[in-house]
Structures are given as structure tokens and as C-alpha cells.
């Protein structure tokens, strides 16, 4: 039996992460493992600590307690304790972040091509023609008209801006992508297109993803596993279809039974 | 004969926390052994838990207590308490499942839906596509529908997409939940043929078949599921 799976060690090992803002709890005692090619959804209502957890894992926020082990190309490192330059390098070359608000993830007054090329150049690619070719290629992959390469993102629609953020992140071939409500500001039809695009890219590139969302339908389509958060704690976790079809915790049952079915 | 699945002392209750803490018992000390090359038909009145058992086997429902042992890649693994990563691996290589409903993904063409189980095993599109085409043709899905999302297909068409998706890859174990439910007689016969082919290739089956004739032609053994005494709910 052929094993395509990179099965030996998890890409990310999160060990009882807590983040306190003074006496207030951001998130508390959360742990999980993420394997190559896996998508993890973090769900829960606003204020439940989803984004705090995501920011702790993605190296953007220092957790108060716990550890984040990341199996980088150069070996396993503790993202919380690694020297700053090493952490930065890993974040720039192996990780990507797609923000809820495209303005946080894009340079709005730099051309689409420039937005995509920026990370390439930061990672040492200097040949202008190559940068531009890669940018064109990625515009096509995320279904943006290549003629828009010299336009700035502030002339793009919301859905296009989100796709441009994805291209900007994926161009350097990261192994893991962090997403904070990537579809929440979009129309349903545009949402479906983005989800479909993400599904394809995850399979094609064997990408891992951690995605925060309050939309359970989105997790059903994209995530292999779920963590359900409430008041900073993980009240339930497991396979996505198991958590949604046979929820155990009262709060998860409430969430699932509150979904409107069109 | 070696077994493929061994259900031992399985217990399952549903607790409905949002509906007055209702407790619905479904299985108590349930046992079942599926041997290699065997085809088991689950029988029993509607609501007794036949579909629930398939979902427990597939890891879709959480096991209360007891064991569900699965032979996977030469190892024996317990679905109860298995890590999600392991369950996904079992689903990818060892256990297939055809449910009664196709969960459609917006915008994804029918043929892609069918090819997916092969693609997650690392099979190229070039190799997967012709196999999907053969199945779709056999199941009489008109060619003009292949490139469309099944969202707008009829119930019977969706069910046939589901069958094609379920049988495109071969699995040591298949779980079938009324695979011929919404199909006309001609398509039903084709589905029965497809299942028989899988059986002859060494797949073991646990299935729910409401049609008596179909059940008799496919199953080598019947397993009766008994209602639990204080079972007073429609689940």
C-alpha cells in the first residue's frame, strides 16, 4: 500500500497554551497536534478566545504559558522560546497568515503584483522578471484576471482582496497557513468560491491550515478537525463530522442546533 | 477465518443537553464480528439503531464505552478513543462508507466529487478521471452533468454520485446505508452488480438493505439489532 502521507511526526504540537490579559483569561490550557495536510477549525462565539489562540500559535502573540513545537524544515523548534531571528525566518518562509480584514494583510497602495512579490523578494529573489512571472502565475491560481497585476488592491472587491492575500501568502510555498475568519465579510456566493479555491490548494500543496471561524458550515467543508471554544477553554474537540453530528458538550449541542438550514 | 471488524461490548447513549437532558440509549453490550470476505446485513425495525451502528463504526458518532477494533494496515486499532488523525487514515485506506445522502460541496463538479477518494490517496487526476468516467457511465449519469455541481441534481442522481464516489477506491471494509434507496430498478441492479464486484474482490461489507431481494442476493449473514427495553424515542 503506497503511503503518500508524511506520517511520522506532527507539523505542529501545541501544549497547554494559556494567555492571560491581566486577570482576564484569553485562552486557557489548550493543546492539539496538527499533521501535514490537515485543516483544523477553531469555532466558538465572539470573545471565546479563538483569535487569541490563533495568534499565540502563529507566533504573533506570546502565550503566558505553554509551548508551540513546530517541525520546521530545519528541525523542531519551540516557537515561544526560539531566538527572534530564527522565529522570524520560519514565520516568513514556512508560515502564512490571512487576516479577516484584507487591510491588515495587504499593502493597499502597492500593486497586486508588488503585494505578491514582496515576500519573494524578502526571501532573496531579486530577478524582476521571475518575480513578475510568479506573481502572474499566482493571480491565475487564485482566479484574479492577470491584467489587474498593476492595479492596487484598494480597487479590488472584497473577495478579490481575500484571494490576493492568499496568493501573497502562498507564493513562497509555506507549509502552514493561519486564517482568521477568511470568509466572514463576503457574500455567500463569493464565500463558496473562496472555500472551493482553498480546498483545492490544500490538497494540491499538501498544506496545513488553522482556521478561526464562527461559521460551522465552513468548517464542515474545509476542516478535518475542530476545536470548540467557550470562555477561553476548549470544551470539545475531535473529527469535524463527529463533533457536528454527535456533539457531546451542551455548548456544542447548542451551537449545532442553532444553525439555520436553508 | 480472520476478522476485519470486532465490536465488543459496545454501549451508546445520546444525551440531549438542550432538550431537557434527555437520555436515549441505543446500544447496550452490543457485539458483532465481521469476518474477512463476509457480507453482513443489519436488520431490525426502523429507529432501532442500524444507521447509528454504521456511523459508530465509521467514527462519525462517538463511542460511549466498549471497543470497535478495526484491522488497518496489518495492525489492530480501536476506533474508541482513536486520534482523529488515525480515524482519517482508516477512512482513507481501510473503511469506505456510502451514506443515504450526498453532502454536496458548492461549485465542485460531480466528476471531481467522485474522484476525490482516489486523489486523497495520491492518485493523479489523469489516472482517476477515466475510472470516474467508467462508474458515472455505468450508473447512467448523463455526460453533460459530469462537469456540474451535484447541488442541483435530483435525489436519485445525487445518490448515484454518492455510490460512484464510494466505490471508486477499493477498501477492505465497506459500510453501506441503503445504497439503493432512491433508485429505480435498473439503476438498483447496477448498484447491486457494483457491490457484488467489490465483494468478489475481497471487500467485506456491513450494510442496511431494506429491499428483501437485494438483501438476500448480497448478504451472507443477517444480524438482528434488538431494541433496548426503555427505548422510547424516535431516534
Residue B71 has pLDDT above 70, yes or no: yes
Rounded to an integer, the average pLDDT of A160-165 is 92
| Residue-level pLDDT at A262 | 56
> In this structure, what C-alpha cell is assigned to residue B155?
435525489
Instruction: Kindly provide the ipTM of the predicted complex, given to two decimals.
Output: 0.90
Q: Given an 8 Å threshold on Cβ–Cβ distance, is B122 in contact with A196?
A: no
Contacts (Cβ under 8 Å, ≥6 apart) of A160? A144, A148, A153
pLDDT tens figures, B215-235: 999 999 999 998 886 544 443
pLDDT tens figures, A123-143: 888 888 999 999 999 999 888
Residue from the list B14, B18, B84 with its beta carbon closest to the beta carbon of A224? B84
Q: Given an 8 Å threshold on Cβ–Cβ distance, is A239 in contact with B87?
A: yes
Q: Is residue A132 part of a domain?
A: no
Residue A202: closest CA among chain B residues belongs to which residue?
B120
Of the pLDDT bands very low, low, confident and very high (cuts 50, 70, 90), residue A204 is confident
Q: Given an 8 Å threshold on Cβ–Cβ distance, is B62 in contact with A238?
A: yes
How close, in Å, is residue B233 to chain A by CA atoms? 17
Residue B79 has pLDDT above 90, yes or no: yes
Residue A83: which domain range? 12-102+176-257
Q: Identify the CATH number of the domain in which residue A16 sits.
A: 3.40.50.300
| Residue-level pLDDT at A63 | 94
| Residue-level pLDDT at B21 | 85
Q: Is residue A36 part of a domain?
A: yes
Q: Is residue A75 part of a domain?
A: yes
Residue from the list B15, B73, B119 with its beta carbon closest to the beta carbon of A1? B73
| Residue-level pLDDT at A81 | 87
Residue A4 has pLDDT above 60, yes or no: no
| Residue-level pLDDT at B235 | 38
Residue B138 has pLDDT above 90, yes or no: yes
Rounded to an integer, the average pLDDT of A1-18 is 73
Q: Is residue A42 part of a domain?
A: yes
Within an 8 Å CB–CB cutoff, is residue A225 touching chain B?
yes
Residue appearing with cell numbers 478495526? B70
Q: Is residue A152 part of a domain?
A: no
String of DSSP letters for chain B:
--EEEEEEEEEEEEEETTTTTEEEEEEEEEEEEEETT-EEEEE-STTSSHHHHHHHHTTSS---EEEEEEEETTEEEESTT--HHHHHHHHHHTEEEE-SS--PPTT--HHHHHHHHHHTTT--HHHHHHHHHHHHHHTT--GGGTTS-GGGS-HHHHHHHHHHHHHSS--SEEEEESTTTT--HHHHHHHHHHHHHHHHTT-EEEEE--SHHHHHHH-SEEEEPPPPTT--S--
Residue from the list B15, B84, B120 with its beta carbon closest to the beta carbon of A239? B84
How close, in Å, is residue B169 to chain A by CA atoms? 13
Q: Is residue A194 part of a domain?
A: yes
Q: Could you give the number of structural domains in chain A?
A: 1
Tell me which of A192, A234, A239 to substitute to probe the interface with B (most B C-beta atoms closer than 10 Å). Answer: A239
How close, in Å, is residue B218 to chain A by CA atoms? 28
| Residue-level pLDDT at B167 | 97
How close, in Å, is residue A250 to chain B by CA atoms? 5
Q: Is residue A138 part of a domain?
A: no
Within an 8 Å CB–CB cutoff, is residue A196 touching chain B?
yes
| Residue-level pLDDT at A183 | 82
Residue A235: its chain B contacts at CB < 8 A? none
Amino acid at each position: 500500500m503506497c503511503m503518500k502521507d508524511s506520517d511520522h511526526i506532527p507539523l505542529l504540537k501545541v501544549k497547554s497554551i494559556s494567555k492571560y490579559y491581566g486577570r482576564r483569561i484569553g485562552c486557557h490550557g489548550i493543546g492539539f497536534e496538527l499533521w501535514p495536510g490537515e485543516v483544523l477549525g477553531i469555532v466558538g462565539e465572539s470573545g471565546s478566545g479563538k483569535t487569541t489562540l490563533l495568534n499565540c500559535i502563529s507566533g504573533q502573540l506570546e502565550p503566558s504559558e505553554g509551548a508551540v513545537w513546530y517541525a520546521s524544515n530545519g528541525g523542531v523548534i519551540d516557537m515561544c522560546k526560539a531566538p527572534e531571528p530564527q522565529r522570524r525566518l520560519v514565520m516568513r518562509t514556512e508560515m502564512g497568515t490571512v487576516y479577516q480584514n484584507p487591510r491588515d494583510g495587504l499593502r493597499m497602495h502597492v500593486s497586486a503584483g508588488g503585494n505578491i512579490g514582496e515576500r519573494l523578494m524578502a526571501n532573496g529573489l531579486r530577478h524582476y522578471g521571475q518575480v513578475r512571472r510568479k506573481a502572474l502565475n499566482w493571480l491565475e491560481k487564485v482566479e484574479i484576471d492577470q491584467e489587474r497585476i498593476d492595479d492596487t488592491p484598494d480597487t479590488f472587491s472584497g473577495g478579490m482582496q481575500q484571494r490576493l492575500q492568499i496568493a501573497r501568502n502562498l507564493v513562497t510555498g509555506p507549509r502552514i497557513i493561519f486564517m482568521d475568519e477568511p470568509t466572514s465579510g463576503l457574500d455567500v456566493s463569493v464565500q463558496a468560491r473562496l472555500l472551493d479555491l482553498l480546498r483545492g490548494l490544500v490538497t494540491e500543496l499538501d498544506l496545513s491550515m488553522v482556521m478561526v471561524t464562527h461559521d460551522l458550515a465552513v468548517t464542515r467543508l474545509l476542516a478535518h478537525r475542530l476545536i470548540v471554544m467557550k470562555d477561553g477553554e476548549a470544551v470539545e474537540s475531535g473529527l469535524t463530522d463527529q463533533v457536528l453530528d454527535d456533539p457531546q458538550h451542551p455548548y456544542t449541542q447548542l451551537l449545532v442546533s442553532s444553525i439555520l438550514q436553508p | 477465518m480472520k476478522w476485519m471488524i470486532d465490536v465488543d461490548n459496545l454501549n451508546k447513549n445520546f444525551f440531549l443537553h438542550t432538550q431537557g437532558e434527555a437520555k436515549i440509549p441505543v446500544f447496550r453490550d452490543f457485539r458483532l464480528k465481521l469476518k474477512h470476505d463476509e457480507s453482513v446485513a443489519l436488520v431490525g425495525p426502523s429507529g432501532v439503531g442500524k444507521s447509528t451502528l454504521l456511523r459508530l463504526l465509521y467514527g462519525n458518532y462517538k463511542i460511549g464505552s466498549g471497543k470497535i477494533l478495526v484491522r488497518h494496515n496489518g495492525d489492530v486499532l480501536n476506533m474508541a478513543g482513536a486520534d482523529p488523525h488515525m480515524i482519517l487514515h482508516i477512512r482513507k485506506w481501510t473503511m469506505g462508507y456510502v451514506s443515504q445522502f450526498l453532502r454536496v460541496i458548492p461549485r465542485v463538479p460531480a466528476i471531481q466529487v467522485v474522484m476525490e477518494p482516489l486523489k486523497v490517496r495520491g492518485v493523479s487526476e489523469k489516472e482517476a478521471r477515466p475510472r470516474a468516467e467508467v462508474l458515472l457511465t455505468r450508473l447512467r449519469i448523463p455526460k453533460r452533468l459530469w462537469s456540474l455541481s451535484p447541488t442541483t441534481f435530483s435525489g436519485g442522481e445525487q445518490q448515484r454520485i454518492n455510490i460512484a464516489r464510494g466505490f471508486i477506491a477499493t477498501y477492505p471494509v465497506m459500510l453501506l446505508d441503503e445504497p439503493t434507496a432512491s433508485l429505480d430498478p435498473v439503476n438498483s441492479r447496477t448498484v447491486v452488480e457494483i457491490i457484488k464486484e467489490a465483494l468478489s474482490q475481497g471487500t467485506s461489507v456491513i450494510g442496511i438493505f431494506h429491499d428483501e431481494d437485494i438483501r438476500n442476493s448480497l448478504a451472507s449473514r443477517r444480524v438482528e439489532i434488538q431494541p433496548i427495553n426503555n427505548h422510547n424515542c424516535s431516534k
